[in-house]
Amino acid sequence: MSDYNHHADHVGTEVAPAQTKRIWQVFLILSAVTTLEFVIAFTIKTGYFKTSLFVGLTIVKAFYIVGEFMHLKHEVKGLIWAILLPTLFVCWLLLAMMLEGGSIFNLR
């Protein structure tokens, strides 16, 4: 994001053409994935396979939102890791606590 236009005397004149092709591309991908999730919700039987499909597709959507819309894909590596690493630990906590919940169910 270093390519900012810092010239204040540029006001209102000769606006550069819009570069929105990639944005609409990502929008199409997100819509397609969401539609696919709907199809899966009503066609595939409930079970581990369905759940892992949903989790996988959610990660795909998260990748496009964070990577393209939030522009993280184009930041420096240090920033990417500063955001990604804590999130990975959160995923571990989620898994651990779900297993814990299963064990509470078994003990009841």
Check binding of 97 to another protein (CB under 8 A): yes
Residues 55 and 33 sit within 8 Å (Cβ to Cβ):
no
Q: Which residues contact 1 (CB under 8 A, 6 or more apart)?
A: 71
Site for another protein in 32-71 (CB under 8 A): 34, 37-38, 41-42, 50-51, 54-55, 57-58, 61-62, 65-66, 68-70
Report residue 59 as tokens. 């990660």
**Could you tell me how many helices (H) and strands (E) the chain has, helices first?**
3, 0
Report residue 101 as tokens. 């919940």
Contacts with another protein, residue ranges (CB under 8 A): 1-8, 10-12, 15-16, 18-20, 23-24, 26-27, 30-31, 34, 37-38, 41-42, 50-51, 54-55, 57-58, 61-62, 65-66, 68-70, 75-76, 78-79, 82-83, 86-87, 90, 93-94, 97-102, 104-105, 108
